[in-house]
Structure 1
Amino acid sequence: MSNRSNRFECHWQPSRRLLVAYLTLLLVTVVVLLRLDLALWLRLTGCGLCLAHALWTLPRSILLSSEHAVSRLRADSDGWYLHSRAAGWQPIELRRDCLALPYCVILRYRLPGRWWVSGLCIVHDSLSFTDHRRLRVRLKFSWHPSAAAG
């Protein structure tokens, strides 16, 4: 019998596929907004909100260039942790609605002391094949009362 370590850690890079998907959807949204039969100020407000969302989301969730971007995940006997350059390792509570698919992992979590739930999309091209598979397996078989709070 082998002695398996209970520790798991992965570090992901920016995903080109996620960037292309986000920019495509952003472009479609802006085109639809501009073509709608709405007052000009409503269309411009909608486009401004799309731009604000892109300025917030791109560096933090897609390009991973912000200090607040989360780019590492660790699991051990004490629980699950996420890492960003700004905050370091932080404990998280995984939610039961995490989704582990062959092409992407949707990680839903809550930081202790916060009432809102956050999410991450980890696309298969941001990790090595082995690490992405290990993450999916780890998520699928990690549900016990201390691993997820809801």
Structure 2
Amino acid sequence: MTTAYDFTAKDIDGNDVDLGDYRGRPLLIVNTASKCGFTPQYQGLEELSRTYAESGLVVLGFPCDQFAHQEPGDDEEIKNFCSLTYDVTFPMFAKIEVNGDDAHPLYRWLRQQKSGVLGNRIKWNFTKFLVDRSGAVVDRFAPTVKPEKLTGDIDKVL
């Protein structure tokens, strides 16, 4: 059976990251954007990351420019924006696509595991997937669900 830990992705610095390195740790996987009405959620995601890091949670950010061109920058610009504006310390990855033929394999798998309002497509930036310690997707949250509303669900996978 495939799990979230079976995938690799390039981090925001261009290095290959084996998600297997996070095996046994719950993940909150989020497609992000710097010019979106939901962009302030970076602050809440960072708070979750800092609050739950010792318990094992890892927040993973995947910038995406598929929704109204709301992530126009390159990886270096995204990295600087996240660091300077929201003091993001959780792992950020290189910009990817989350829908369509060129969707990253991780996102093709995530969408198959938990569909949303638009079936298995990602509706918008800041869609969130919660993965348990075994690497299985346990829930999907709409962009409108603020990170601070996830604490009960996160507690269940810790």
Higher fraction of helix: 1
Q: Which has the higher contact order (CA 8 A, sep 6+)?
A: 2
**Which one has the largest radius of gyration?**
1
**Does the pair score TM above 0.5?**
no
